[in-house]
């Protein structure tokens, strides 16, 4: 544990499981009060919050589907109302719907855009009402922004490429206000979303270090960007992929 984020307030979207949950745990361990959203995993969200609150931390689970813009705005408002401020926004919520172009449904396309791109814009716009000098905006992208790597990922890759481009623009817009904006681009990471061992066995040889990433490793990069030592880093897309793109 450290006190690098003592007195800070963070909101993590999609924070009930996987990388998001690891981010919530890490920010809380570094001293931040952390609100986080979930769409359907209520039991996991409550268990996570209870674990943090039970050890002296401060966590608030908020039910909010990131495809619903008003729910995203309300989550920001609830966070600020509960903790009286908002210093760190981690846009982590994201979905992956694979499919080849011939059969890809427009409803799936629209939901991918809504969750992976629009929600980032909506949450960031809402958070700015409460943010000031030294605030941090961090968005979870993907190495697929630079390399799709597998068939059926064109729409997902598009959304992550859009996030990286938005980050660069927001860094210019918000830099004069003392707010940094960055994207993290994880490579293949061990989470419950890709728990299939056959798939993991296929991915490991593609990594320069011979293994997939851990969610806590990605969370450590989020913690760095959220902390005081990253004050000169903005507009960046930071890859953490074990050499997948090397």
Give the C-alpha separation, 73 to 70, whole Å.
5
Catalytic residue among 38, 130, 156, 244: 156
Q: Is the CB of residue 86 less than 8 Å from the CB of residue 33? A: no
Q: Is the CB of residue 97 less than 8 Å from the CB of residue 48? A: no
Q: Is the CB of residue 48 less than 8 Å from the CB of residue 25? A: yes
Instruction: Give the number of residues written for the chain.
Output: 246
Distances (CA, A) of 55 to 20, 52, 58, 230: 19, 5, 9, 28
Encode 230-243 in three state secondary structure. Answer: HCCCCCCEEEECCC
130 is catalytic: no
Q: What SS3 class is residue 37?
A: strand
In whole angstroms, what separates CA 87 from the centre of its chain?
15
Annotated catalytic residues are 156
């Amino acid at each position: 544990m450290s006190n690098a984020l003592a007195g800070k307030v963070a909101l993590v979207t999609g924070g009930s499981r996987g990388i998001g949950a690891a981010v919530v745990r890490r920010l809380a361990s570094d001293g931040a009060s952390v609100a986080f959203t979930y769409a359907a995993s209520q039991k996991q969200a409550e268990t996570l919050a209870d674990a943090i609150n039970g050890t002296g931390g401060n966590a608030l689970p908020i039910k909010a589907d990131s495809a619903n813009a008003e729910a995203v705005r309300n989550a920001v408002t609830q966070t600020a109302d509960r903790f009286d401020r908002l210093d760190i926004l981690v846009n982590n919520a994201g979905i992956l719907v694979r499919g080849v172009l011939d059969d890809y449904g427009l409803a799936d396309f629209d939901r991918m855009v809504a969750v992976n791109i629009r929600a980032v814009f909506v949450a960031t716009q809402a958070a700015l009402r409460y943010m000031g000098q030294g605030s941090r905006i961090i968005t979870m992208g993907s190495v697929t922004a630079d390399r799709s790597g597998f068939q059926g990922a064109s729409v997902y890759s598009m959304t992550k490429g859009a996030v990286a481009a938005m980050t660069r623009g927001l860094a210019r817009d918000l830099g004069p206000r003392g707010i940094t904006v960055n994207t993290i681009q994880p490579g293949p990471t061990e989470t419950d979303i890709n728990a299939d061992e056959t798939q993991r066995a296929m991915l490991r040889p593609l990594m320069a270090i011979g293994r997939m990433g851990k969610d806590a490793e990605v969370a450590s990069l989020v913690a760095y960007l959220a902390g005081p030592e990253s004050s000169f880093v903005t507009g960046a897309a930071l890859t953490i992929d074990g050499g997948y793109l090397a």
